[in-house]
Structure 1
Amino acid sequence: MDTSDYIASAAVVIAFCALAVSIWQGYVMRLHQKLSVKPHIDIDYKFFPGKPIEIRMLNNGVGPAIIKSFKVLYDGKSISENQTDAYLKVLKELKTDTELEFKYEYNFPLKNEALSSGENEYLLQVELVGEYDESATSRAKSSLSRIGFKTEYECMYGNKFVHNMPLLFSNN
């Protein structure tokens, strides 16, 4: 073998190394792109004395969350496939448990609804009727702690995620 053969062989090895690095870089870049649109659903509640109790769904991720399924749970179990019935059953239990008068609003995300990054949407708002009473508010909070939510959602690439919160918050 003379010198030109060695140079040609080295060029072939360098070309294969460049090809391998390019393939690896493409793979890593694709993973990065998927992570750059990954949603992260969370359920949050706001409880301030004298104000309505609010339960909200929010997307803390960097990409939109496409809702595929949303269920209201009570004591960790799905109540009904019909979400309106589920909320009404939960509110009936709340009224029975606490013997309180309250106003409420509820909302539930629909299938294939998108929740943008940073967006939040209220799920349930309960306002006790009458003057502020710490005991009544505590009973309402205790009863509401039995509510939970299960959300199945996807990112823009079709990767599936589940957020399961069987109980909203502890009675502490």
Structure 2
Amino acid sequence: MDHASDWAAVIVAACALGISIWQGFVARTHARRSVRPHLVWCENKEKTEQGVGVTFSVSNYGIGPAVIRDRYFELSGARYASADTEGDLVEELVRQLLGDKFAHRLLVHGLPGMKSAIPQGGSQVIASIFFPEGNDSTVKTLRHHLESVVFVVEYSSIYGEKFTFRTD
């Protein structure tokens, strides 16, 4: 065997190694780009003979889970903080915003847990409010009362890419 064929084998092996490393990089970049959660705000109104129900939720329409890093409300531009550290943030906010202005019942409420995940295609109900004897004008007035509220979710993909979702 001559030295030329030895060097040719080394060059071919080095090229194959380089191409394999490049393919790995391309595959990793593609995986990061294709596994990206995307949160959206959903509002569902249901009218019955007894009244009107409105449900607010956040859903993941992306690919892959949305890992929750932080979630909070802003009221008139400032982060809303509970007066009672043991209290329920959603319940307190609804009480403050709606109070006695409307007859209402908070049926379901909650926030996604810290470090939990909203799976691909999954959703989390933030608040489901029922207005007995409510109608379309009740819902319009409700939306007006909620204009000063922004719901914020800071989340990441399984690869650690950080995103922020805001309802404003």
- Into which bin does the TM-score normalised by the smaller protein fall? 0.7 to 0.9
Of residues 85-94 and 54-63 in structure 1, the stretch that sits farther from structure 2 once superposed is 85-94
Deviations 1:109-159 (A, max 9, x none): 1111121110111101121122x4332222112212332211111222333
* Counterpart check, 1:158 vs 2:165: no
Q: Does the alignment pair 1:38 with 2:36?
A: yes
TM-score (norm 2): 0.80
Give runs of aligned pairs for residues 1-172 of structure 1, distance below 5 A.
4-49=2-47, 51-80=52-81, 84-85=88-89, 87-95=91-99, 99-104=101-106, 105-130=108-133, 132-165=134-167, 167=168
Counting aligned pairs with the same residue, the percent is 25
Structure 2: 5+ residue stretches without partners? none
CA distance in 1, matches of 2:105, 2:41: 21
Determine the C-alpha separation between the residues in 1 that align with 2:80 and 2:37: 26
Greater percentage in strand:
2
Equivalent residues of 2:55, 2:129 under 8 A apart: yes
Count of residues paired in the alignment: 161
Any stretches of 5+ residues in structure 1 without a counterpart?
Answer: 168-172
Once residues 19 and 80 of structure 1 are traced to their aligned partners in structure 2, the CA distance between those partners, rounded to angstroms, is 55
Deviates more, 1:115-124 or 1:25-34: 25-34
Amino acid at match of 2:127: L
Mark the CA change 1:49 to 1:77 in structure 2 (over 3 Å): closer, same or farther: farther
Cα distance in 1 for partners of 2:79, 2:90 equals: 8
CA contact (8 A) 2:97 2:146 kept: no
